[in-house]
Amino acid sequence: MRIYTCTPVEFGGSADFFARDSGLLCRGLQTLGVESRAVMPGERKAEDDADLIRTDFISLESPEWWRAQKLDGVILYAWGRPKFRNVAKAIHDAGIFLVLNQDNGGLVSPLAGFKDWFHEQWILAGGGRDSRAVLRFLSLSLRGLTAGILLTDPLRAAHLKQGNIIACVSPKAADCYRKLCWIYGGAALVNRVRVIPHAVEPHFRFSGGRKRRQVACVGRWLDNRQKRPWLLIKVIAALVAADAEVSVVIVGLVTDELAEWHRSLDPSQQDRILLRGQAGRQELAVILGESQVFFSPSAFESFGIAAAEALCSGCSVVAGRSVSMASFEWFVSADSGTLADGDTTADHLLAIQKELELWKQTRRKPKEISQVWSDRLHADKIARQILLFHP
């Protein structure tokens, strides 16, 4: 059997690409004995892995090119975007079984649920933190209610109709897509929607070692609007001030803001907060493997791969309850975390403290958390799930 993955955007093709998303699913298929490679546009680069096929974008829109690959299936990571609908159509017209990965929380149109969609626009705009955020909200809302419904939605529908499977990364996202697909194509299209989450590398697992009273945080801390390092600082400062036994590891590029905050701390607190900086995949697995809690201060996530890696490593997860954190309601569903009911520093702090107390009472079981989520998220399990859908 030959099943390829495809990303119609030119990214790097090194080992890092094969550590997540379409590259990692390619690896998962290979472990099951499926012949698999990843396809991407652009000129071949020196660091590209041997399992990456580069071609021009015109070929990706050609049924003849796809037919020549002699494939049984393609998993297309194109977000359902209208601009890539001709790639999906070319694969469909070549007679190839097509899985369309939807890397989002499902609120891609007002038609997915007006109330939640408006709420998400508010969050994406910055949550009203300043006048510019309010203007962004008004702009996003106006565009979605006009060009979004009149132009984008019909083109997205044309894209989705090419797929045999519409793969959503969380149950909540799948619910949103079912609403959209009912409008776009009725029951026949709704029946193609499935929950197929992003894959996690198999070395993220609980090895049975000791779990420390430690909180791990992983993010692109330069991204102030999404990752919210300012909230991270407030919550972690309050946590270490209130709990003399807890330690924190913050993974990701150390910004000037983070470094300055860390220097300003009392030495007794400073010693318990490690600004690790960027870490390799194996080191990150070690950090998560010894931590009890993973904390995400994000305002929004399409999935939350770092949280998924933490779950497979036997951590419980803390984040905010939000329409823009669709996967996290699922992530905490297996005695595996707590969602803060409000979005204040106090709310997030309380959720972390609740989790740490559950660990202290041995009511969080790292082996069980790891087993549940590894079975759901490891790359070979996601690949096997796709094979079950294949006719």
* Lowest-confidence pick of 85-94, 124-133, 268-277: 124-133
This prediction has a pTM of: 0.95
* Residue 130 clears pLDDT 90, i.e. is over it: no
Which superfamily does 214-376 belong to?
Answer: Glycogen Phosphorylase B; (3.40.50.2000)
Cα angle value 95/101/102 (rounded, 5°)? 135
**Alpha-carbon distances of 18 from 28, 129, 168, 210, 281, rounded to whole Å:** 10, 37, 20, 30, 12
Segments making up each domain of the chain, as ranges: 3-200+378-389, 214-376
- State the amino acid at position 232 in one-letter form: L
Give the pLDDT score at 131.
Answer: 83
Q: What is the pLDDT of residues 284-312, one digit of tens each?
A: 999 999 999 999 999 999 999 999 999 99
* Residue 117 clears pLDDT 80, i.e. is over it: yes
Report the distance separating Cα 227 and Cα 236, nearest Å.
14
Report the distance separating Cα 148 and Cα 108, nearest Å.
9
CATH number of 3-200+378-389: 3.40.50.2000
Give the pLDDT score at 209.
Answer: 86
Q: Does this chain's domain 3-200+378-389 share its CATH topology with 214-376?
A: yes
Burial class (CB in 10 A: 0-12, 13-18, 19+), 59: middle
Beta bridge partners of 81: none
* Residue 129 clears pLDDT 90, i.e. is over it: no
Report the distance separating Cα 118 and Cα 116, nearest Å.
5
